[in-house]
């Protein structure tokens, strides 16, 4: 079972230019969502979107900047909530910018969905649970 998201992209721009698109609200808005992000550690901000009809989510992602290394790394918490205001998932988004000869490699990691801290202490148990779960799926005849 996949527990995190990892993607790698390549852009022809310099890390400085790509960084702008990750940290300036007026640029972020053009490709991601509306936000009031500031690249300052500890800064609390939001992404907002219009939820689809029937979606349980309320169109707000609450975030806090966790790490800022200009032009090389940015990470923030990513906490979604549903209509009742109940927090339904806590996760973390990390951006890594790696300078390359002709541009920038941008790596995204979005993880932490299943693993609040105390699960990490039970990794073995959880793994075996998921392993059995995988076996279970694989043996179910369709």
Partner 1 sequence: MNAQTLDAFQVIADPSRRKMLQLLSKDNMTINALAENFDMSRPAVSKHIKIMYKAGFISITDIGRERYCTLKQDGFNELQDFINYFDKFWTNKLKKLETLLNNRIKENLP
For position 12 contacting partner 1 by CB under 8 A, the verdict is yes
For position 100 contacting partner 1 by CB under 8 A, the verdict is: no
- Count of positions (residues) in the chain: 142
- Contact between 61 and partner 1 by CB under 8 A: the answer reads no
Number of residues near partner 1 (by CB under 8 A)? 40
Among 136, 139, 141, 142, binds partner 1 (CB under 8 A): 136
Q: Which residues of this protein are in contact with partner 1, per CB under 8 A?
A: 1-5, 7, 9, 11-13, 17-18, 21, 30-32, 56, 82, 86, 88-89, 106, 108, 110, 113-114, 116, 118-119, 122, 125-126, 128-130, 132-133, 136-137, 140
């Amino acid at each position: 079972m996949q527990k995190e998201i990892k993607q790698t992209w390549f852009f022809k721009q310099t890390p400085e230019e790509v960084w702008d698109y990750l940290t300036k609200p007026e640029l972020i808005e053009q490709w991601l969502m509306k936000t009031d992000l500031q690249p300052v550690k500890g800064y609390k901000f939001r992404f907002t979107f219009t939820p689809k009809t029937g979606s349980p989510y309320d169109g707000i992602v609450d975030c806090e900047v966790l790490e800022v290394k200009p032009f090389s790394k940015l990470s923030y918490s990513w906490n979604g909530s549903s209509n009742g205001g109940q927090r339904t998932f806590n996760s973390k988004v990390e951006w890594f910018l790696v300078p390359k000869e002709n541009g920038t490699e941008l790596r995204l990691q979005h993880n932490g969905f299943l693993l609040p801290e105390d699960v990490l202490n039970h990794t073995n148990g959880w793994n075996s649970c998921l392993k059995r779960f995988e076996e279970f799926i694989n043996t179910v005849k369709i």
